[in-house]
Amino acid sequence: MNGVHDMGGMQCFGPVLPETNEPVFHAEWEARALAITLAMAGWGKWNIDSSRHARETLPPADYLRYSYYERWIAALTRMMVEHGLVTSEELESGQPDPGSPKARPPLDAAKVREALRRGGPTARPLDREPRFALGQKVRAINAHPKGHTRLPCYARGHIGEIVLHHGPHVFADANAHFRGEDPQHLYAVRFTARELWGKDASPRDSITLDLWEPHLEPA
């Protein structure tokens, strides 16, 4: 989808300023935000792609003013309400409704660290040969879907080169909307800066994007 979250290559948002010796977390609550997000995912009500889409659909003004983990918590609380894990009243009061059903969490605090270490591998088998080969020129499709997509706006319609084939992986664009994992071949595609932003860009610069086969067409 097109939204403020997809600000790569856009002007007027200021430079990227890397933080020297940046810590993993800037405050204890950020670590708790990550842990809570992992724990709630253990219920199996959503997947990593649908949670990303939930962050993308936050109101633009909120998305811009929130910090990274504030976006996580805002999206998480909305998903919890939408999937019936808590009520709006419980979120507002911070207290459980005495009449709400009780269930034992499938992922408790002791298991979160192991879940984080294990991760969520997305490689899948696929009985279909890749459509594109290393070194082949491809064009990112010029499409503007209403739902989640991992194809950023600035690359759409532009020509790049296949530099790596990752193999088949869960197709995030489908998985985000619970249409199944729909495995697709995943490629690393290199775009020159001048292809993306014109003659004023540095001829030495390039960007490499991981894109799925449905994002690409022969150039």
* Rounded Cα gap, residues 45 and 213, in angstroms: 27
CATH number for domain 28-118, candidates 3.40.718.10, 3.90.1330.10, 1.10.472.20, 3.30.590.10: 1.10.472.20
Reported as a single tens digit per residue, the pLDDT across 39-51 is 999 999 999 999 9
Helix (H, G, I), strand (E, B) or coil at 163: strand
| Per-domain residue ranges of the chain | 28-118, 137-218
pLDDT band at 104 (very low <50, low <70, confident <90, very high): confident
Pick the CATH number of 137-218 from 3.40.190.290, 3.40.50.150, 3.40.50.300, 2.30.30.50: 2.30.30.50
Kindly compute the dihedral angle of the four CA atoms of residues 35, 41, 42, 48, in this order, to the nearest 10 degrees. Answer: -110
> What would the mean pLDDT of 64-79 be, rounded to a whole number?
96
- The verdict on pTM exceeding 0.85 is yes
